[in-house]
Amino acid sequence: MKVEGSTGGEEGATRKVQKRELRNGESHNGVKLRAKRRTRRRVQADSSAGIQRLFMACKKVFKGPGTVPEPAEVDMLQQLLDKMRPEDVGLSADLVFFKSKSASKGTPRITYTTIYKCNNFSMVMFFLPPRAVIPLHNHPGMTVFSKLLLGSMHIKSYDWIEPTSNGLTQPDPLRLAQKVEDSDFTAPCYTSILYPTTGGNMHTFTAITACAVLDVLGPPYSIEEDRDCTYYQDFPYLHHVPHGETDLTAEQRDKLGWLQEIEMPKDLKMDGIEYLGPPIIDT
């Protein structure tokens, strides 16, 4: 999911999310934003070691556009993220945006904060109230680590099936994809990883309960470098059965889906806030 924001943070037992002064009608990457009220959250003063270790590892692992981390580097980052706790990024379950009034009616709003961003990678947290959805979207040329820190969510992801690999016709504007994941996850759980062409490069998150997820993306989204976010609508395989297809079982068909590129959903609303968790020291 494409987001941007400022870096940094400050220590203290009591934190305030400072109100962002947005111009009337201002938007953020096409996603309408609104100023947030001041909220408080508790951060433990000795909890910065985890996020600092992750930051230093990311600096070593992500080497810029066009590169994919080596297997040993992936394992190292995954192990660090697997051990990450909510308090490592200044979270507690009583955060205001987990109890948003919008969770009970209409389309729930999503809150995010950018912990750090540079040309090689970014670290972003998303806070989703119950029923909130981050729509199906892709990660062009990117390796992404997603760690669920709090709550439960459903994750569905796809990889493209190239036309030459199956001989089936793919009617424009539909394109055939294979499901990689279609499951519920509850924190604490293992970190999920996707790659530029494998691992579920296109995914969607649906909050079952209020939840928080930490995404590490390398490299980050960039319009200038042709790594913009594309959204999709997915359809079951039986939505369009290719001419001449007769030999797939019901189980095989269930693992396939048709994806169609769409504009960013109009009901997607996100609120950006400043990161005020344990600070990162960029050495």
**In the chain, what are the helix, strand and coil shares in percent, each to the nearest 5?**
15, 35, 50
Reply yes or no on whether the pLDDT at 163 is more than 80: no
Reply yes or no on whether the pLDDT at 266 is more than 70: yes
Between strands 192-194 and 110-117, the pairing is: unpaired
Reply yes or no on whether the pLDDT at 265 is more than 70: yes
pLDDT score of 167: 53
d(CA 228, CA 269): 18
Contact (Cβ atoms closer than 8 angstroms) between residue 113 and residue 184 = no
Reduced to 3 states, what is the DSSP secondary structure of residue 145? strand
pLDDT score of 134: 96
Q: Which residue has the higher pLDDT, 74 or 35?
A: 74
pLDDT score of 276: 87
CATH number of 14-272: 2.60.120.10
CB burial class (10 A; 0-12, 13-18, 19+) of residue 264?
A: middle
Q: What is the DSSP string of 82-118?
A: HT--GGGGT--TT-GGGG-GGGGSSSPPEEEEEEEE-
d(CA 266, CA 135): 11
d(CA 265, CA 262): 8
- What mean pLDDT, rounded, does the chain reach? 81
pLDDT score of 34: 41
Reply yes or no on whether the pLDDT at 279 is more than 60: yes
Residue 239 backbone class (left: φ over 0; alpha: ψ -120 to 50; beta: rest): alpha
Please report which confidence band the pLDDT of residue 125 belongs to, taking 50, 70 and 90 as the band edges: very high
Please report which confidence band the pLDDT of residue 30 belongs to, taking 50, 70 and 90 as the band edges: very low
Q: Which residue has the higher pLDDT, 240 or 262?
A: 262
Reply yes or no on whether the pLDDT at 44 is more than 60: no
d(CA 4, CA 15): 21
Please report which confidence band the pLDDT of residue 246 belongs to, taking 50, 70 and 90 as the band edges: low
pLDDT score of 15: 37
Residues pairing with 214 in the sheet:
125, 147
Reply yes or no on whether the pLDDT at 91 is more than 50: yes
Residue spans of the domains in the chain: they are 14-272
pLDDT score of 45: 40
